[in-house]
Amino acid sequence: MDKLCVSGGRPLVGSVNIGGMKNAALPIIFATILVNDICVLENLPDVSDIKNALEILRRMGAEIKEIDRFTYSIDTRPVRSNSVPLDLARNMRGSYYVLGAELGRFGRSFTSLPGGCNLGARPIDQHIKGFEALGATVNCTSGISCYTEKPLEGAQIYMDVASVGATANIMIAAACASGMTVIDNAAREPHIVDLANFLNSCGADISGAGTEVIKIRGVESLHGGTYAIIPDMIEAGTYMIAAAATKGDLTINNVIPRHLEATTRKLLEMGVEVEEGDDYVRVRYDGKLKKVRVKTDFYPGFPTDMNPQFCVLLCLAEGESRITESVMDSRFKYTDELIRMGARITVQGRDAIITGVEAFTPSTVRAVDLRAGAAMVIAALSTAGTTFIDDIHHIERGYEDLVGKLRSVGADIERVSTNN
Ligand code: EPU
């Protein structure tokens, strides 16, 4: 029931370090079930979704040791089939990766329908299509069950949507299938490349990750090893926007600037200064913000997970801007919260039309989902006066030590208990 209390209006100045990418870490954590050995994962983000995923594996029998805050050793040899704790699995979207991993290892899996942010209909038909192509029978009457009588066999799979989740799940299931699997119209996100690199480091034979055609030549078995997760491009992008919205000057360290290109380009178009180094970006406010049009898209397009944060910046730009959401069905629920803070936004279907205002008005708002919560924090940081943000459990699912990192660059933000 805690909330965030933000006294804004101060520029963020200094440097922050970016953690590992939640959406890369999740499929990799579940893929360790398929590896059936000891994996040491480094650079795991310290966020509740990752804690939840590790707890799911622990309850399935895995032996998990915390080596340090960001490094865990996971021994999945003792994992029992058909042991997914449904109460935990239903709380998070990424738990559906257990399906590909268990199907690949045991030939069967059962889990609950996945939870996660409410961003409209989030079907899993492409996951099912992939598992069925590999020879599994899938039933979704109460939860999701998949099983196969004979070993999975490689197949040609054309994805109707370049879904991140389905691409990753099929890659995991196919890694130890017999023969070759080809995923056409695959997702190209950096987390797909990270999953392929992890599986290959464990002995898989996957090529083409990062392009729309991924080839997976099934291998007999995998082996454990040590692997470091890539930096979180959405966490980094969030701090980039926060720097610009607070008229600040932030150096964002431990990033892969290429992954941030879509956000960088849009910031430059708005008149924000962005300097790229080998593993950092420096973002500096440089006078008035110009209006722009943004359309979210699959990677390398502008990420849907940056839609709410970017909208906050557009609220502070001169004139009329527009965001078109083309990945998720319903991503604009957060706009009601920004309107509470004085924003002028009209949503028409998949478009939000934003008329710039001088500043937001401090208020009490909710984090309606993970990225929406980050957007509220940025809006509050940019605004003189005190804003309270409720439902912060959403934010804590995906932002590591947000309060500590922001305080270290000059923000006045604290987590307060509502019981006081
Ligand atoms: N889709 C289908 N059928 C499917 C799968 C997806 O039609 O079988 C559609 C979805 O309805 C959506 C689009 O394809 O319209 C993209 O969905 P995708 O499968 O790529 O997304 P996801 O795997 O459900 C992951 C992230 C999201 C992120 C999206 C897009 C995880 C756990 N979640 O979701 O992350 O928004 O990819 O990049 O990796 C977040 O971190 O805040 C978050 C919501």
Domain CATH number, residue 114? 3.65.10.10
Task: Identify the pLDDT of residue 35.
Answer: 98
Quick one: pLDDT at residue 251?
A: 98
In terms of domains, do 83 and 168 share one? Answer: yes
Residues 312 and 402 occupy one common structural domain: yes
Residues 160 and 264 in one domain: no
157 lines ligand 1 (CB under 6 A): no
Per the annotation, the verdict on 176 as an active-site residue is: no
Query: How is residue 354 written in tokens?
Result: 């934003």
Shared-domain flag, residues 224 and 287: no
pLDDT for position 266: 98
Same domain, 94 and 207: yes
Same structural domain for residues 207 and 308? no
pLDDT value of position 121: 66
Q: How many whole angstroms separate alpha carbon 354 and alpha carbon 84?
A: 44
pLDDT of the residue at 113: 83
pLDDT one-digit tens code per residue, 226-285 = 999 999 999 999 999 999 999 999 999 999 999 999 999 999 999 999 999 999 999 999
Same domain, residue pair 107 and 183:
yes
pTM value surpassing 0.75: yes
Q: pLDDT value at position 120?
A: 65
How much is the average pLDDT of 173-201? 98
d(CA 130, CA 177): 12
Whether 313 and 263 share a structural domain: yes
Ligand 1, from 22, 28, 93: best to mutate by most atoms within 8 Å of Cβ?
Answer: 93
Name which residue sits closest to atom 11 of ligand 1, judged by CA. 122
116: left (phi over 0), alpha (psi -120 to 50) or beta: left
Give me the number of domains the chain comprises: 2
- Mapped onto helix, strand or coil, the DSSP state of residue 216 is strand
Residues in CB range of 11: below 8 A, 6 or more apart? 246, 247, 248, 249, 285, 410
Q: How many whole angstroms separate alpha carbon 139 and alpha carbon 242? A: 44
As a whole number, mean pLDDT of residues 82-108 equals 93
> Quick one: 301 and 163 in the same domain?
no
Q: Residue 240 has which token pair?
A: 């980039």
Return the amino acid letter for 314.
L
Q: Which of 230, 223, 102 is nearest to 172 (CA)?
A: 102
pLDDT of residue 330: 87
Pick the last residue of a domain from 187, 206, 228: 228
Q: Report the pLDDT value the prediction gives residue 140, as an integer from 0 to 100.
A: 87
Q: What is the pLDDT of residue 1?
A: 77
362: its two tokens: 């401090």
Task: Please work out whether the CB of residue 126 comes within 6 Å of at least one atom of ligand 1.
Answer: yes
Report the atom number in ligand 1 closest to the C-alpha of 191: 39
| pLDDT tens profile 107-140 | 999 998 876 667 666 789 999 999 999 999 999 8
The answer to whether 107 and 76 are in contact (CB under 8 A) is: no
Contact 367, 376 (CB under 8 A): yes
- Cβ atoms of 393 and 48 within 8 Å: the answer is yes
In angstroms, rounded to a whole number, what is the distance separating the alpha carbons of residues 291 and 237?
18
What local confidence, expressed as pLDDT, does residue 116 receive?
63
State whether residue 27 is helix, strand or coil: helix
User: What is the side-by-side strand order in the sheet with 249-253?
Assistant: 13-17, 249-253, 280-284, 273-276
- From ligand 1's centre to the CA of 165, what distance in Å? 6
Tokens describing residue 390: 């409720």
Mutate to test the pocket of ligand 1, among 164, 309, 329 (most ligand atoms within 8 A of CB): 164
The answer to whether 357 and 343 are in contact (CB under 8 A) is: yes
Q: Would the CB of 397 count as within 6 Å of ligand 1?
A: no
Average predicted confidence (pLDDT) for the chain = 96
- Does residue 168 line the site of ligand 1, with CB under 6 A? no
Task: Find the domain containing 403 and state its range.
Answer: 3-18+231-416
297 C-alpha to ligand 1 centroid (Å): 11
User: Taking a C-beta distance cutoff of 8 angstroms, is the pair 11, 417 a contact?
Assistant: no
The predicted pLDDT at position 223 comes to 98
Between 330 and 46, the higher pLDDT residue:
46
- Kindly state if the Cβ of 304 falls inside 6 Å of ligand 1: yes
Check if 94 has its Cβ closer than 6 Å to any atom of ligand 1: yes
Q: Are residues 158 and 301 in the same domain?
A: no
pLDDT the model gives residue 420: 52
Final residue in a domain of this structure, among 204, 228, 252:
228
- SS3 letters for 325-394? CCCCCCCCCCHHHHHHCCCEEEEECCEEEEECCCCCCCCEEECCCHHHHHHHHHHHHCCCEEEEEECCHH
Instruction: Identify which of 324, 298, 47, 308 has the alpha carbon closest to the alpha carbon of residue 164.
Output: 298
Q: Which residue out of 5, 39, 117, 315 is catalytically annotated?
A: 117
Q: What one-character-per-residue DSSP string does 131-194 give?
A: HHHTT-EEE-SSSEEEE-SS--B--EEE-SS--HHHHHHHHHHHTTSBSEEEEES----HHHHH
Final residue before a domain boundary, out of 193, 228, 263: 228
Whether residue 295 is predicted with pLDDT greater than 60 in this model: the reply is yes
| Residues 194, 127 within the same domain | yes
Token pair recorded at residue 33: 């079930």
Judge if 113 and 239 occupy the same domain: no
